[in-house]
Structure 1
Amino acid sequence: MANRTPNPETARAEFEVAATLAAIESLQGTLTMARALVLAGRSVDLAGLDREAARLCAAVACLPGDSGQALLGSLAGLAQEIDLLSRCLAEP
């Protein structure tokens, strides 16, 4: 078996995608928790979520090549969670 040295650019891209995916999942978890609290009649403080979303967008935009394609499903799930939370907040 040959010992192949990984391409540093590929390894970096994979690391950046994994880190961005972790950030997406973290933000989605925060939004899911916020929605659960709203549904339970609790108030939530959403301050700072806009900054976190902006950082996430910047991270995705900076991913090399088409490596961000791997995140499309996770980003769609995040967008869905944002929509669900928005609907819960709009209900009287």
Structure 2
Amino acid sequence: MTPQPQQAILASIEQMDSTLAVATALAESGRALDLHGLEEDMTRLCGAVLLLPAEDGRVLRPAMAGLLARLEGLSAALLR
């Protein structure tokens, strides 16, 4: 049985969150990062959420808000 779109997108959100957490830790330790492709991945993920029926998309708001916070953390770490 294939996962429902909402479940698949939630899994992608969780994977992106992990990726951003590792990138943030590396940036905070002064390591150089290759963020090639990150913008494309984020664009695809956001687009997938927007294509969901409104009710399904609303359920993902907390996860997306957490992802935004993680992305802002990475941005701050890169600016230090």
SS, match of residue 4 in structure 2: helix
Partner of 1:81: 70
Structure 1 segments of 4+ aligned residues over 4 angstroms from their partners: none
Q: Which has the larger radius of gyration?
A: 1
Unaligned runs of 5+ in 1: 1-11
Partner of 1:58: 47
Matches for 1:3-82 after TM superposition, within 5 Å: 15-82=4-71
Say how many residue pairs are matched.
79
Q: Distance in 2 between matches of 1:33 and 1:78?
A: 13
With structure 1 as the length reference, what TM-score do the two structures score?
Answer: 0.80
Return the offset for 1:64.
Answer: 2.0
- Please tell me the residue identity of whatever aligns with 2:60: L
What are the superposed Cα offsets for residues 16-74 of structure 1, whole Å, 9 maximum, x if unpaired?
11000011111111011000011111111111000001100110011124211111110
Q: Distance in 2 between matches of 1:40 and 1:65?
A: 40
Tell me which of the two structures has the higher relative contact order, counting C-alpha pairs closer than 8 angstroms and 6 or more residues apart.
2
Unaligned runs of 5+ in 2: none
Aligned-residue sequence identity (percent) comes to 39
What do you get for the CA RMSD once the two structures are aligned? 1.5
